[in-house]
Structure 1
Amino acid sequence: MTRTITQAELRNGSAGVMDALEAGDDFIITRNGHPVGELRPIRAQRDVATAELKARFARFAAAGAAAEERAEIDAVFGEDRLDD
């Protein structure tokens, strides 16, 4: 849920804003009635192992034109591959 609060509300109620951020709320901060910024909770990122990424994207290599596209990209940018 996105809530709009003033600069003064942010300053005076920062503990409540932090609690709401932890609960997943978003905020638009206004100054003199004009939006000046956003506050959003940080979403946790999950580390993914290289092997898992390779497995996830392996199906794309099987697409019909993938080999030709990869050759074109390599021709333009050069080959800079990790061990396939």
Structure 2
Amino acid sequence: MVEVTVRELRNDGGRVLDRVERGESLTVTRDGHPVAELRPLARRPLRASALLSRWRGLAHVDAARLKADIDDTLDSSL
């Protein structure tokens, strides 16, 4: 786990929290000794109704057309 000092947390708290928000876990140290951990909060799970609503809003994918597009894009000799 990466360490940040109390001074760094005080002086650059916004940047430190940006790192945590991006998923990084940090140990806060004072005089070289670990005193706390900062870690991202677990994300709240979505309800089934929200997932179904999102799923219904997805565009239809034509499998044959997708395969043709991939075949046109990729070099089949590899």
For normalisation by structure 2, the TM-score amounts to: 0.55
- Matched residues, percent identical? 42
Corresponding position of 2:53: none
Shift of 1:45: 2.4
Unaligned runs of 5+ in 1: 50-84
1:30 and 2:25 aligned: no
Amino acid at match of 1:24: G
Corresponding position of 1:7: 6
Aligned length in residues = 48
Shift of 1:47: 5.6
Amino acid at match of 2:37: E
Report SS of the residue matched to 2:45.
Answer: coil
Shift of 1:48: 6.2
Unaligned runs of 5+ in 2: 49-78
For normalisation by structure 1, the TM-score amounts to: 0.51
Structure 2 Cα separation of the partners of residues 29 and 6 of structure 1? 5
Structure 2 Cα separation of the partners of residues 23 and 6 of structure 1? 19
Corresponding position of 1:41: 40
Amino acid at match of 1:26: S
Shift of 1:38: 0.2
What's the Cα RMSD here? 1.5
1:18 and 2:17 aligned: yes
Amino acid at match of 2:2: R
